[in-house]
Amino acid sequence: MMRNLGKYVRTKRLEVNVEKTKMMVFNKRNIKSEESEWKYLGYTFNERAIDKAQVREVVRKANILVGCVWGIGERKRGGEFGRRMMMFESMVESVLIEPQSSRREWAKGKSAGYCLSAIEKRKKTRRIRRNGYASEEIERMRAEGRRMSVELSERDRDTDNQERRERIRECTYKWEYERCMTEDVPVYLGRESVQMWERREREQVLDGRRREKVQDVPRGETETIEHIWSVCGEMRERGGKVTGRNTERRRKEDRMDERHMEEERKDRKRKGWGIGKNVNFLELYFYVCNQESESPQGK
């Protein structure tokens, strides 16, 4: 391999870059110098055919990377060793392991999907630039595509609505459906709603009457703070006992009934007993005896 490469370089009259990959250095005077160690395609070769130099180079790069990552973890996480280690593993594995695995897959012909997508994207970009398309044109075409997709979705929605109307028109119960959808309020719903409102009004009237009896609020009036204050004043005057207007009215009626009965009793004593259907004869006998004892003849 080395012989063939030297022959190729001599034939092409090339000057190999020392900083990148070098096997032999050919200056302009065609003087050949021999090297004991050189680098080709990122791999370090030497005349003894051992890989110590390559391992040493990899270790050097890894130490540089570890120092950078560990310094970032120390600044970010501080004394949290577990988090620093997790950050270190994730960053080192992503930098060292994944490129090597992807390179092996590429060599085997089993490249990863993201590699193929990146390659296709670069090819597409080159093709677009070669054909004269700009990024603004691409964005415009994408916007047109999105707008077209929206229009297609709206058209599909209108088509679905039209098909639904046709199915309803062909249905057996279409007349009932049209009547329910066109009328403001169906007849049966209106009747039930009227009954419900009448029942609700009756309940409200009854509730109002009950509230009037309990709270002693006059009919047609609402309970206000003045009414509550007057009730509290009456309670203070009566020693803590609340008496409403209905109670006062009943007491007044009871007093009138008692007064009327007393007047009737006095009239009976003054006029005497009359004989009728509902006369109690025992009371009549005692009454007669009492009258005889009070008369002057009896004395």
What are phi and psi for residue 11, nearest 5 degrees?
-65, -40
DSSP-derived secondary structure letter, 298: T
Mapped onto helix, strand or coil, the DSSP state of residue 32 is strand
pLDDT per residue as tens digits for the range 180-205: 555 555 555 555 555 666 666 666 65
Q: Which pLDDT value is given to residue 154?
A: 79
| Contact between 6 and 26 (Cβ < 8 Å) | no
**Residue (of 244, 242, 237) closest to 211 by Cα position:** 244
| Contact between 85 and 93 (Cβ < 8 Å) | no
| Contact between 46 and 53 (Cβ < 8 Å) | yes
pTM exceeds 0.75, yes or no: no
Place of tokens 């599909």: 156
**Percent of residues, the chain, with pLDDT higher than 70:** 24
pLDDT(259) > 70: yes
Instruction: Give me the helix-helix angle, 135-170 and 174-182, nearest 10°.
Output: 110
pLDDT per residue as tens digits for the range 112-137: 555 556 667 777 777 776 666 556 66
Mind giving me the DSSP string for 36-94?
SEEEETTEEEETT--SHHHHHHHHHHHHHHHHHHHHHHHHHHTT-HHHHHHHHHHHHII
pLDDT per residue as tens digits for the range 40-73: 656 677 766 667 777 788 788 877 777 777 676 6
Cα separation, 171 vs 166, in Å, equals: 9
Ranges of each domain in the chain: 2-111, 244-299
